[in-house]
Structure 1
Amino acid sequence: MAVEVREIKGEELDQLVNQGKVLVDFYSKTCGPCKMLGFVLKDVAKIVDGVEIVTIDFDTNKETVERYSVESYPTMILFNNGQEVTRIKGLQQKPKIIQMIS
């Protein structure tokens, strides 16, 4: 069953990461690689199951960006039951993201 990529506000993230496996994409609307990663994540979402995929705008959620020590965009962080499992920076291809989630 496919999942849907959705954008959330920083305030929602703390609650969401405690509810299972969540992949968070920190992005900027002015970033070319971020836009390309958005398309890749939509493809990934069609394949994976058991993970929620969300995006957070780097520019409008500064407090959340600082709290999670995100230094650049795009940055993806995979959480499982509130714990950071792995973090990856930059534009990534679909196989790498699927491997990250598995």
Structure 2
Amino acid sequence: MVQVVTDQDFKQETDTGVVLTDFWATWCGPCKMQSPVIDALEGSRSDVKFTKMDVDQNPDTPQSFGIMAIPTLIVKKDGEVVEKLVGYHTKDQLIQVLDKYTKEA
């Protein structure tokens, strides 16, 4: 199950390893399409931590990243933002992005 994070625990929960965070809202249609893709990936990737944050309930973190549209997906590696993806992305697109940070070069 994708871990729900808040403004209070976001930094702590996303500071180690490769973490993908899905910024979403209940009223967002594309977010509802993105969520099952994230869920499917989460079930098949033990090398990535998957988290999600409701932007309406947690405004501070999205604001700190300049998130103006949702869904926005942020990939962090060891606490540093390495990718910011805006809009819906397919499973294959997300696999390509995550593989850049999880596979040894």
TM-score (structure 2 length as normaliser): 0.89
Number of residue pairs matched by the alignment: 99
Q: Is the 8 A contact 1:48 1:98 kept in 2?
A: no
CA distance in 1 between counterparts of 2:46 and 2:84 reads 19
Residues 1-102 of structure 1 correspond to what in structure 2 (within 5 A)?
A: 4-102=1-99
CA distance in 1 between counterparts of 2:34 and 2:82 reads 20
Distance apart, 1:17 and its partner CA: 2.0
4+ residue runs of structure 1 moved beyond 6 angstroms? none
CA distance in 2 between counterparts of 1:96 and 1:42 reads 15
Distance apart, 1:85 and its partner CA: 0.7
Q: Indicate the percent of aligned positions where both proteins have the same amino acid.
A: 28
TM-score (structure 1 length as normaliser): 0.91
Where do 5+ consecutive residues of structure 1 fail to align? none
SS in 2 for 1:29: coil
Q: Is the 8 A contact 2:19 2:51 kept in 1?
A: yes
Distance apart, 1:9 and its partner CA: 1.0
Where do 5+ consecutive residues of structure 2 fail to align? 100-105
